[in-house]
Chain A
Amino acid sequence: MKRVNAALTGVGAAGGIVAKELATAGLSVALLERGRWYTANDCRKDDLRNQRTTVLGNAFGPEEESNPRVWVSPRGEATTVLPSDGSYQNNAACVGGGTLSYGAMAWRFLPQDFRMRSTYGVLAGSSLEDWPISYDDLEPFYDKAEYEIGVSGDYSGTPLHSPRKRPLPMPPLPPNREFTILEPAAKRLGLHPFHLPMLRNSVPYNGRGPCMRCRWCVGFACEVDAKNGSQNTVIPTALATGNCELRTRCMAKEILVDERGRARGVAYFDERGRLQEQPADIVVVSACAIESARLLLQSKSRLYAQGLGNRYDQVGRNLQGHHYTGAIGFFDHETYDDVGPGASIGVMEYNHGTPGLCGGGLLANEFIRLPIHMVDRMPPGTPRWGKAHKQAMRQYHRRSIVIMGPTQQIPTAEARVLLDPAVKDRWGMPVARIQGNVHPHTFAIGDVQARRAEAWLREAGAIQTARMTGHPDLVEAGQHQAGTCRMGDDPRSSVVNRECRLHDVDNVFVIDGSVHVTNGGFNPVLTIMAVAYYASDALLRAWKGAGLRS
């Protein structure tokens, strides 16, 4: 097979950006993606089979039976789980990855989010750490992501947002009814509400139209292609250069190394299950936190008996996502206007600065809800079935608001991805085995956040509220999964350096949420994108210095 400059595994939020940056700089790039390439025409508006509600399976991969995982309970019991099970921690398997079907919130982390250890100290039992890079290092790349991929919104309502040099490229969508109910209530509480930033067109942008504000948003491909992911922005740009080849339904097997310990390419199974080898000068791993760690662990050789980059047993550790908590409020008037994307208003007062709490998180109203989402969210005391439940659905589906948010998890080294010793995937490779949990202080923060959500709803006129909290048995990684290939200066406590290059192997890069040291109190995708631009920039500088060619 023809040698390329860069072989890249996993074409999602980060992979698409790296592909575009490298291909437009003139490098030849081979993109290997295990899933398929879907478009707006693949939007099925299926309430029971999408990337968020998976009772009948995932719409955008992975295929239900092809690639199971194993999760280990706190009591040590191992269970094989499928992509439609919550404990599988699925994101997606398709071109664009999660960005095809995400809700598309587009947050910059706050400066403190990159300095959690310096800000709060080390919590006993946690692996809380500072990033080796700062917010200022990433700021130009946040800006680039906002303008190249396309973000709408308006931060002007809050003084607490991260420092920025110019406003977002698109205005927010007009407020929905929940916004008009929640905004004055937040102000009465002394908060600074604002329009959420979204990777969603509010006006024509990048040659595509604006959001038509339908009910089927998070979890679905956008019917009118108004949601901006890598699949409809950077990936087409990368392919248009002529330097980039995208191969779908190709499952990476391992990163191959030469006798000197440098990577020489990627072995993968093609769409017909045949083993192929793609020779390359550099390899970029961007398969999302769980699968990226798995690929490194699978890449065992004489020189790397524990897997690539795993000399100090760091690969797969510090798995994290977000701990979502909040509250639902029930009203005596209609709050539902059937206008998507629904999520519209947020506050940042609770991300940092509460005495006794190590961080916090955003609070915002939830995405527009489908009826199936409300079945288990009726007011406390409502029977779970029967005539009373049906009547409650009629009473409250249009008279409720949910406020929730992603509490920043406090990572631990014990929440981790391993290779399962027994269970194999369709290709005969060991599957990811997920075990451990984040630091319990995370749940204390989440409980406080839920009470704050409840207070906001009551101020807005809710006649009844119920907090939504939990202390799950397993790290909640899911679509926000991060942390498994930590970025750091010390090879003994991290996997990649500050340029996302493996400490051990100078021509292998991990560029995706895996490198996040901590995951902020926000949806992580814009940070994943900013890191991808930042790391691509560093990679290209190294390439031009000829330090990467073998």
Chain B
Amino acid sequence: MQVKSEGRVVSITRRQFVGGCALAAGAAAAGCTSHNGDFSFLTPDEAVTLAALCDQIIPADDYPSASQAGVVRYIDLQLTRPYRRHQDAFRAGLAQAESFSVRRFGAAVVTSSPEQQLATVRMLEQQNRRFFELLRKTTMEGYYGSPRHGGNRDAVSWRMLGLTEPPVRGRARYTFSEKP
């Protein structure tokens, strides 16, 4: 499937989609509300807004942007787990960004220009410090942290930094003998 992000169309792979569904099913079984099959906490509108904001924190250059590396999925997953306590802050912060963008630029965050999106993030940095710091922190975690949590897809940030994944030295290559 495809979602629009920063004026571009970004593909969401089948694996991601299925993974999201499975997770949503798990959340539903645990008594949580599932908004749709793609995300466990975020609504589709919130997800595209968040993608645009994250991509200002870590934009695309020679290497993928935050959302291209799976950061939205990372944040969404964690908001149903360790970051449950930040759910309200994200919901309110995303709504604040959206209403600011519409009021100031006459356009939703996702359809505003990159310069306007940058202005929206700067507004958050000034006016909603708590949400901005959460946004920055979780975006960095999703981009530079372990791929196992849904972000850093294909270890893209580690490759950007010239780090192999997994490292050459590793269990598969490791031999141990009492008499080396």
A contact set with B: CB distance below 8 Å: 44-48, 55-57, 64, 84, 203-204, 207-210, 212-215, 223-224, 338, 370-372, 374-375, 384-387, 389-391, 393-394, 397-398
* Interchain nearest-CB distance for B72 vs A (Å): 16
Q: Are A394 and B161 in contact (CB under 8 A)?
A: yes
**Which residues does chain A contribute within 8 Å of B82, judged by CB atoms?**
55-57, 64, 84
Q: Are A386 and B180 in contact (CB under 8 A)?
A: no
**Which residues does chain B contribute within 8 Å of A398, judged by CB atoms?**
161-162
Nearest-CB residue, chain B, relative to A207: B178
In whole angstroms, what is the CA distance A212 to B171 when docked? 9
In whole angstroms, what is the CA distance A46 to B162 when docked? 19
In whole angstroms, what is the CA distance A210 to B169 when docked? 12
B144 at the A interface (CB under 8 A): yes
In whole angstroms, what is the CA distance A372 to B149 when docked? 14
Among the listed stretches B2-10, B51-59, B89-97, which one makes contact with chain A, having 4 or more residues with CB under 8 Å of it?
B51-59
In whole angstroms, what is the CA distance A56 to B137 when docked? 12
**Which residues does chain A contribute within 8 Å of B31, judged by CB atoms?**
none
Between A and B, 26 residue pairs with Cβ closer than 8 Å are: A46-B148, A48-B146, A55-B141, A56-B81, A56-B82, A203-B180, A204-B176, A204-B177, A204-B178, A204-B180, A207-B178, A208-B176, A209-B174, A210-B176, A212-B170, A214-B169, A223-B170, A370-B144, A371-B144, A375-B144, A384-B136, A385-B136, A385-B139, A390-B59, A390-B63, A393-B144
* Interchain nearest-CB distance for A170 vs B (Å): 13
Q: Are A212 and B140 in contact (CB under 8 A)?
A: no
**Which residues does chain B contribute within 8 Å of A64, judged by CB atoms?**
82
Q: Are B146 and A338 in contact (CB under 8 A)?
A: no
**Which residues does chain B contribute within 8 Å of A210, judged by CB atoms?**
176
Q: Are B167 and A224 in contact (CB under 8 A)?
A: no
B105 at the A interface (CB under 8 A): no
Q: Are A212 and B149 in contact (CB under 8 A)?
A: no
In whole angstroms, what is the CA distance A45 to B146 when docked? 8
In whole angstroms, what is the CA distance A538 to B146 when docked? 47
B19 at the A interface (CB under 8 A): no
A48/B163 contact (C-beta < 8 A), A84-B82, A371-B158 known? no
**Which residues does chain B contribute within 8 Å of A47, judged by CB atoms?**
144-146
Q: Which of B132-180 contact A (CB under 8 A)?
A: 136-137, 139-141, 144-146, 148-149, 157-158, 160-164, 167, 169-171, 174, 176-178, 180
In whole angstroms, what is the CA distance A464 to B76 when docked? 38
Q: Are A372 and B180 in contact (CB under 8 A)?
A: no
In whole angstroms, what is the CA distance A209 to B170 when docked? 13
* Interchain nearest-CB distance for B90 vs A (Å): 15
In whole angstroms, what is the CA distance A212 to B167 when docked? 11
Query: Other CB < 8 Å A-B pairs besides A375-B140, A390-B61, 17 of them?
Result: A44-B148, A45-B146, A47-B144, A48-B149, A56-B78, A56-B82, A56-B149, A204-B180, A212-B169, A215-B163, A338-B164, A371-B161, A386-B59, A389-B58, A391-B61, A394-B161, A398-B162
- The bracket for how many chain B residues form the interface is 35 or more
**Which residues does chain A contribute within 8 Å of B136, judged by CB atoms?**
384-385
Q: Are B176 and A209 in contact (CB under 8 A)?
A: yes
In whole angstroms, what is the CA distance A44 to B166 when docked? 12
A48/B145 contact (C-beta < 8 A), A84-B82, A394-B160 known? yes
Nearest-CB residue, chain B, relative to A53: B145
In whole angstroms, what is the CA distance A397 to B160 when docked? 10
Q: Are A386 and B169 in contact (CB under 8 A)?
A: no
**Which residues does chain B contribute within 8 Å of A390, judged by CB atoms?**
58-59, 61, 63
Q: Are B141 and A48 in contact (CB under 8 A)?
A: yes
In whole angstroms, what is the CA distance A213 to B171 when docked? 11
Q: Are A224 and B171 in contact (CB under 8 A)?
A: yes
A397/B145 contact (C-beta < 8 A), A212-B174, A214-B167, A391-B61 known? no
**Which residues does chain A contribute within 8 Å of B169, judged by CB atoms?**
212-214
In whole angstroms, what is the CA distance A365 to B101 when docked? 47
Nearest-CB residue, chain B, relative to A57: B82
Q: Are A372 and B141 in contact (CB under 8 A)?
A: yes
**Which residues does chain A contribute within 8 Å of B162, judged by CB atoms?**
397-398
**Which residues does chain A contribute within 8 Å of B140, judged by CB atoms?**
372, 375
In whole angstroms, what is the CA distance A215 to B162 when docked? 13
Nearest-CB residue, chain B, relative to A224: B174
Q: Are A215 and B59 in contact (CB under 8 A)?
A: no
Nearest-CB residue, chain A, relative to B136: A385
A385/B145 contact (C-beta < 8 A), A64-B82, A371-B163 known? no
* Interchain nearest-CB distance for B61 vs A (Å): 6
Q: Are A397 and B161 in contact (CB under 8 A)?
A: yes
In whole angstroms, what is the CA distance A81 to B136 when docked? 22
Q: Which of B97-149 contact A (CB under 8 A)?
A: 118, 136-137, 139-141, 144-146, 148-149
**Which residues does chain A contribute within 8 Å of B164, judged by CB atoms?**
338
In whole angstroms, what is the CA distance A57 to B85 when docked? 13
Q: Are B61 and A338 in contact (CB under 8 A)?
A: no
**Which residues does chain A contribute within 8 Å of B57, judged by CB atoms?**
385-386
**Which residues does chain B contribute within 8 Å of A384, judged by CB atoms?**
136
In whole angstroms, what is the CA distance A228 to B147 when docked? 28
In whole angstroms, what is the CA distance A338 to B174 when docked? 17
In whole angstroms, what is the CA distance A223 to B59 when docked? 35
Nearest-CB residue, chain A, relative to B121: A385
**Which residues does chain A contribute within 8 Å of B63, judged by CB atoms?**
390
Tell which of B59, B163, B171 touches A387, judged by Cβ atoms closer than 8 Å: B59
Chain B 52-88 against A: per-residue CB contact (8 Å), 1 yes, 0 no? 0000111101010000000000000010011000000
In whole angstroms, what is the CA distance A374 to B162 when docked? 14
Nearest-CB residue, chain A, relative to B176: A209
In whole angstroms, what is the CA distance A55 to B176 when docked? 34
Q: Are B157 and A224 in contact (CB under 8 A)?
A: no
In whole angstroms, what is the CA distance A305 to B63 when docked? 64
Nearest-CB residue, chain A, relative to B56: A386
Across the A-B interface, give the 5 residue pairs with the lowest CB-CB distance, nearest first: A209-B176, A371-B144, A48-B145, A47-B146, A375-B140
**Which residues does chain A contribute within 8 Å of B149, judged by CB atoms?**
46, 48, 56
